[in-house]
Structure 1
Amino acid sequence: MKILIIEDELPSARLLRRKLEGLGYHVPEILQTVEESIEWFMSNPEPDLIFMDIQLADGISFEILERIKPSSAIIFTTAYDEYTLLAFKQNSIDYLLKPIEDEELKNAIAKFIQFRQPIPPFDLTSLEALFRNNAPSYKERFTIKIGQSLRIVTTQQIECIYSKNKGTYLYTSEGGSFLLDQTLDALLPQLSPKNFFRINRSNIVQFDAIKNIAIHSNARLKIYLRHYESDELIVSREKVAAFKNWLDK
């Protein structure tokens, strides 16, 4: 059985691949973007099964299905709430909620194997409309406690969010750093992917704050923001392609 993974977060994709290979399945490809996936389908035989994240770096994965219309079975991997997931069930599409549990993965594959002939059709138009109507809202502001007072920082004022010395901070266009009480992993799903991009394990940058981008060593990129200065603003090598696609949206 040939399995394809479409997921823009490489750590998550690699973890899923290891889980699948641990179950005895071969996963030759991991694709990260809508455009990369479309190009791949145009020059490769369709896989039997696709594990597909919904929100990719350069768009929504439904765009792939609209262009290619593969006959492969699809299991969506998603972090969306239970109500959206119930709707996926009603459309006869399986899903796995991140982080993916081993037992749920085994059950999803077993379900696919049991019903793989024929693969049930689904209404992509209705599903896409359903997803867009249930798409999560993103944070517009942060309330930060400073001594005995509170400060409101809008997402438009944020240049970057970074982790340092086991703390998480946001840096504003006015030149101030403020300690947050959440990790980067917890914050990222709350931020609009149109405006924010996690360039490496320690830094999330805001699109409007980028002043310049330079070629760096080992096929990486160095980001210069309007006010915040740091040698840590390097786009990791595995994120460069997704970052470029994000810039071109």
Structure 2
Amino acid sequence: MNVIIIEDEKPSARRLQRMLKSLNLNADTMLHSVEESIKWFQNNQHPDLIFLDIQLSDGLSFEIFEAIAIKSAIIFTTAYDEYALQAFKLNSIDYLLKPIDDNELSVAVKKYQNLIPQQQAVTLDFNDIKKLLINPIDREYKKRFSVRVGQHLKLINIDEIECVYSENKGTYIHTTEGRNYLLDTTLEHLEDELEPDTFFRISRKFFVNINAIKDMVSYTNSRLQIKLKSYRGQDVIVARERVKDFKAWLE
């Protein structure tokens, strides 16, 4: 089976690739933008199955289908549920909300595998989509962290965290009390654990809590600088390629 992943966040793409490998599916091709995907489809045999994010770095993935006639089956993988009806019009097998759950991914893959012998275009059941839109899947996100303080462990609730940042190869949280604590994890691993309505990854170095933002000012090269309520460490800068998504997240 020929499988590809279209996802602009490379850590998320690699995570999905690993999840698929555990299901005995090899997704060796990973594309990261609308433009790159169109060029790839123009020069390569179309796959059996596409795992497709909707919001890519240079636009919505639906633009790919406006440029290229694609008959591959699709499993959508996205953080947004408002595009489900639009996805319904394509060869959709399933519509998975991020962070992707292992069991839901397995069910979606089995749904596709069960439909292969029929050799026909497959779409989501409209009632399933309606149910998804009315009752979005409840996700379990991180509620607290345990950090080591000397010989003791301290619990820090998620609403006490202003930002999560990387520095000198370590990952730290900064709390509303103005304290910094080292975590035994990475920012990439936290992408699927932090509640996306509250935390946004503004760059390779920072997640910020929307409730901790004190001010935002223009910065060089079309970037933004964030002022947090108590954090006074390295500059908190929204990467240029993240500014558009960050502004949308704020709203």
CA shift, 1:182, in A, is 0.5
- State, as a whole percentage, how many aligned pairs show the same letter: 32
Q: In the alignment, which residue of structure 2 is the partner of 1:198?
A: 201
Q: In the alignment, which residue of structure 2 is the partner of 1:150?
A: 153
Q: In the alignment, which residue of structure 2 is the partner of 1:164?
A: 167
Matched-pair contact (CA < 8 Å) for 1:167–1:179: yes
1:37 alignment partner AA: L
CA shift, 1:188, in A, is 2.1
Task: Tell me how far apart the structure 1 counterparts of residues 129 and 249 of structure 2 sit (CA, whole Å).
Answer: 24
1:149 alignment partner AA: H
2:60 maps to 1:37: yes
CA shift, 1:163, in A, is 0.6
Q: In the alignment, which residue of structure 2 is the partner of 1:183?
A: 186
TM normalised by structure 1 equals 0.69
The partner residue of 2:84 within 52, 65, 69 is 65
Residues 137, 68 of structure 1: alpha-carbon distance in 2 compared, 3 angstrom cutoff = closer
Matched-pair contact (CA < 8 Å) for 1:8–1:242: no
- CA RMSD between the two structures: 4.1
Task: Tell me how far apart the structure 1 counterparts of residues 90 and 12 of structure 2 sit (CA, whole Å).
Answer: 25
Aligned residue pairs total: 219
Aligned with 2:112: secondary structure?
Answer: coil
Residues 189, 12 of structure 1: alpha-carbon distance in 2 compared, 3 angstrom cutoff = closer
Q: In the alignment, which residue of structure 2 is the partner of 1:17?
A: 31
Q: In the alignment, which residue of structure 1 is the partner of 2:23?
A: none
1:17 alignment partner AA: L
Query: Which sections of structure 2, spanning at least 5 residues, go unmatched?
Result: 15-28, 47-52
Q: In the alignment, which residue of structure 1 is the partner of 2:125?
A: 123
Aligned with 1:92: secondary structure?
Answer: helix
Q: In the alignment, which residue of structure 1 is the partner of 2:21?
A: none
Query: Which sections of structure 1, spanning at least 5 residues, go unmatched?
Result: 95-110
Q: Which has the higher contact order (CA 8 A, sep 6+)?
A: 1
Task: Tell me how far apart the structure 2 counterparts of residues 244 and 52 of structure 1 sit (CA, whole Å).
Answer: 28
Residues 223, 130 of structure 1: alpha-carbon distance in 2 compared, 3 angstrom cutoff = same
Task: Tell me how far apart the structure 2 counterparts of residues 24 and 39 of structure 1 sit (CA, whole Å).
Answer: 19
Aligned with 1:170: secondary structure?
Answer: strand
Q: In the alignment, which residue of structure 2 is the partner of 1:88?
A: 108
CA shift, 1:38, in A, is 8.9
Q: In the alignment, which residue of structure 1 is the partner of 2:17?
A: none
CA shift, 1:32, in A, is 2.2
Residues 52, 231 of structure 1: alpha-carbon distance in 2 compared, 3 angstrom cutoff = farther
